[in-house]
Structure 1
Amino acid sequence: MRQPATHQTLQITEDGNLLDIEYQWVGSQDPQAPLLVFLHEGLGSINHWSFWPEELASFLGCRGLLYSRPGYGQSTPRNPNEDLPINYLHREAQQRLPAVLAALGLAHERPILFGHSDGGSIALLNAAMDNSAARAIICVAPHINVEPFMHHGLEHCINWYDSGDLRQRLARYHQDVDGTFKPWSRAWSSPDFQKNWNIESDVTNIQCPTLLIQGDEDEYSSLHQVYGVQCLVPHAEALVLAGIRHSPHFEQPERLKKRCLRFLQDHNLLD
């Protein structure tokens, strides 16, 4: 298997400030191959994806682009005391993702989006935009609201960070691990966010082909999330994996690769 290219850095401007964004190309080197963009989870980064982007992009024959959002990986770090606004995922979907693509000269392309967890929600929100360029979206364990089921998993995550080895584990992937974890955990555990964060009205606008994937033993959200998207986006397809937790692309990668291939072939998106 071809080794992935070295991470590179681009810059985007936001509110008059320059932000460094680390990114990486994987998969096909054919400039005519379909563009597949990977959107990482709430505590993820380029390195946290591990083998998955290279394997999926190569299997599908796509150019794979992955990047670390500001506050993650080696991109511009975030102040640990910064509070994320309730619409921070909208900002990632509607402003930062288009800005990254534009900075790479890809504004004219129609990407396929592959998002996990928070990245899945970002893919949904981007595809829901009136001017969205997304050709299709593949969302693994996305969220559309905050349900009580999530509270236990979040509390476990915070305790693991404060008292266990989660901070040490995550520090391998992020320039400023506290700046990654603390604003994210404060946002999702705040009463205001839990009561008011809801993107159901947004996702009803999605028109592009949509594949939803979730394990039935996901420790952070129930199947009400993917079934909720299906109710709002009737053309969306769903794959529910028995005995699988929050990261099915790590637990059943071969099955996911084959399902993604069939989905994209069914919609003639790999020509």
Structure 2
Amino acid sequence: MEGRIIDVNGKKFYIEYNNSFENKPTIVFLHDSLGCTQLWRDFPAKLAEAAQCNLLVYDRLGYGKSFPMTTHERGNNYMEAEADLLNDLLNELHIKETILFGHSDGGTIALITASKYPEKVKATICEAGHIFVEDVTVKGVRDAFEAYKKTNLPERLHKYHGNKVEMIVKAWTEIWLSDSFRSWNIEYLLKNITSPLLFIQGEADEYGSLDQVEKTISQVSGSAEKFIIPNIGHTPHKENPKVVLNRSIEFINRILN
């Protein structure tokens, strides 16, 4: 799938887009806080092909092959702003019907998008997303920042993000470790999610407890189901791709048929 840069309201995003299936929704993949299109590897293509759906994978501004962020500073509503940018991107590409698949920050952005733009979202798969801040999340971010300072993580990230690495790490860690962000909570938006939801989480997720799952599926207005995977951490689609793929295909097929 060929990648290209697209200009959306003056912001330049890297996208990979395949719309070869007529009258089928587009599965949109939303990466995590240090992720990008390339780091999904072949998972998106496998899911789209199996579900016979169109596919959009993109790098948020500052990540991967997209243009840099203008500043590392983020407000508490930065994921809400990303949902608005996604809506603008969908409009630019004339995509009217989506199935969202988001991981971590991307999972949260998927939930927000489904709540704010329900007319565009046929279903959502949220993998290890957050709706509020927990001690375990703050500890996970702090541990990751320590690893960034003490290991070869900067070099590994440079392969995917180039010279934008320091900016994205700063953007992620500073907001999540700030006192002001402890009050961040999007539970008030959940009632606006009317389309079906599948929440996937590893039972041993080092960034969030199962409260994130339970409180999400209990508050959405549409049908909601959970898929908790034992002995799996924060990235189920990498730690056990076959299981996540099969469960996601089954969910999408049920929605479409």
Give the structure-2-normalised TM-score: 0.94
1:248 paired residue among 218, 236, 239: 236
Q: Which residue of 1 aligns with 2:4?
A: 8
* CA deviation after TM superposition for structure 1 residue 132, in Å: 3.9
Q: Establish whether residue 31 from structure 1 lines up as the match of residue 1 from structure 2.
A: no
Question: Residues 79-117 of structure 1: CA distance to partner in whole angstroms, max 9, x if unpaired?
Answer: 5x5311110100111x200111112222xx110101001
Q: Which residue of 2 aligns with 1:22?
A: 14
Q: Establish whether residue 123 from structure 1 lines up as the match of residue 75 from structure 2.
A: no
Q: Which residue of 1 aligns with 2:146?
A: 159
> Pairwise mapping of residues 89-108 of structure 1 onto structure 2 (< 5 A)?
89-93=79-83, 95-106=84-95
CA RMSD of aligned residues (A): 1.5
1:171–1:206 CA distance, 2 compared to 1 (3 A): same
Q: Establish whether residue 138 from structure 1 lines up as the match of residue 128 from structure 2.
A: no
How many residue pairs were aligned?
255
Question: Residues 188-243 of structure 1: CA distance to partner in whole angstroms, max 9, x if unpaired?
Answer: 1101012x210011112111000000000111111111111022126310000000
* CA deviation after TM superposition for structure 1 residue 131, in Å: 5.0
* CA deviation after TM superposition for structure 1 residue 38, in Å: 0.5
Which is richer in helix? 2
Task: Name the SS for the 1:136 alignment partner.
Answer: strand
Supply the distance in 1 between the matched residues of 2:118 and 2:49 (Cα, whole angstroms).
Answer: 29
Task: Name the SS for the 1:128 alignment partner.
Answer: helix
Supply the distance in 2 between the matched residues of 1:78 and 1:33 (Cα, whole angstroms).
Answer: 33
Supply the distance in 2 between the matched residues of 1:191 and 1:151 (Cα, whole angstroms).
Answer: 11
Q: Which shifted more, 58-67 or 258-267?
A: 258-267
Q: Which residue of 2 aligns with 1:260?
A: 248
* CA deviation after TM superposition for structure 1 residue 29, in Å: 2.5
* CA deviation after TM superposition for structure 1 residue 25, in Å: 2.5
For structure 2, which runs of at least 5 residues remain unmatched after alignment?
none
2:199 paired residue among 212, 216, 227: 212
Task: Name the SS for the 2:57 alignment partner.
Answer: strand
Supply the distance in 2 between the matched residues of 1:168 and 1:248 (Cα, whole angstroms).
Answer: 24
One-letter amino acid of the counterpart of residue 192, structure 1? S
One-letter amino acid of the counterpart of residue 241, structure 2? P
One-letter amino acid of the counterpart of residue 116, structure 1? H
Q: Which residue of 2 aligns with 1:188?
A: 176
The answer (yes or no) to whether the contact 1:126–1:132 under 8 Å persists in 2 is no
* CA deviation after TM superposition for structure 1 residue 19, in Å: 1.1
* CA deviation after TM superposition for structure 1 residue 31, in Å: 3.4
* CA deviation after TM superposition for structure 1 residue 142, in Å: 0.7
Task: Name the SS for the 1:179 alignment partner.
Answer: helix
Supply the distance in 2 between the matched residues of 1:105 and 1:132 (Cα, whole angstroms).
Answer: 13
